[in-house]
Amino acid sequence: METVLNFAGGMKFNKHIPAKRVKMRTPDSIWNSYYKLCVERKPWDKTISHYFSMKKLGRPWLTIDQYFSNGVFCLNFPKYTDWRGEKIIVDKVIKYENLIPELGPVFEHLGIPFDGDLKANAKGDYRKDRRQYQEVLDRKQQEIIGQVFKREIDWHGYSF
């Protein structure tokens, strides 16, 4: 059986490639028969996590105010929506905060054994400050996140 890589004419796929690019690079028969899954995270928590990962990965001097003034946020909706960002094109978007309970039915549907434990914590050491996002973000930062992530908040029913 040919692989997706062969169907894509040698184009590379990475772990964060948007679904719309995968769809564009694969035949309809594969796109329509594969189960497509994405994980989304509560925007306030995701933003704090992204800030700490940027500090860990080369910007130890970065303050949270500098992070917000840069205006570079970790938007995931372009990863699982169409080109306009108006329609979800994957089969399932799982909420990170409900990862284990939501993965169970997906794995069952796909016939993959799952004991309820992923046995992984790939980025757990990025963040030394373990306070909840509600304790870290000031009112202005909360409002910025509310504006930047409005679609995700609306689509997935998130609240602060």
Strands (E), the chain: 37-40, 92-95
Token duo for residue 45: 């928590």
Q: Tell me the three state secondary structure of residue 125.
A: coil
The whole-angstrom separation of Cα 127 and Cα 136 is 13
* Dist CA 121 CA 111 (whole Å): 24
Copy the structure tokens of residue 137. Answer: 């973000």
Could you report the per-residue pLDDT of 132-155, keeping only the tens digit for each? 889 989 999 999 999 999 999 999
Q: Are 120 and 102 in contact (CB under 8 A)?
A: no
Can you say how many angstroms the Cα of residue 5 is from the centroid of all Cα atoms in its chain? Answer: 23
Q: What is the signed CA dihedral for 13, 19, 20, 25, rounded to 10 degrees?
A: 40
Residue whose pair of structure tokens reads 């993959």 in the numeric block: 112
Quote the pTM value.
Answer: 0.80
Output the pLDDT for position 1.
39
Contact in structure between 90 and 36 (CB atoms under 8 Å): yes
Looking at residue 61, its pLDDT comes to 87
Residues of the chain predicted below pLDDT 50: 1-3
**Selection from 83, 72, 73 nearest residue 19 by Cα:** 83
pLDDT at 89: 96
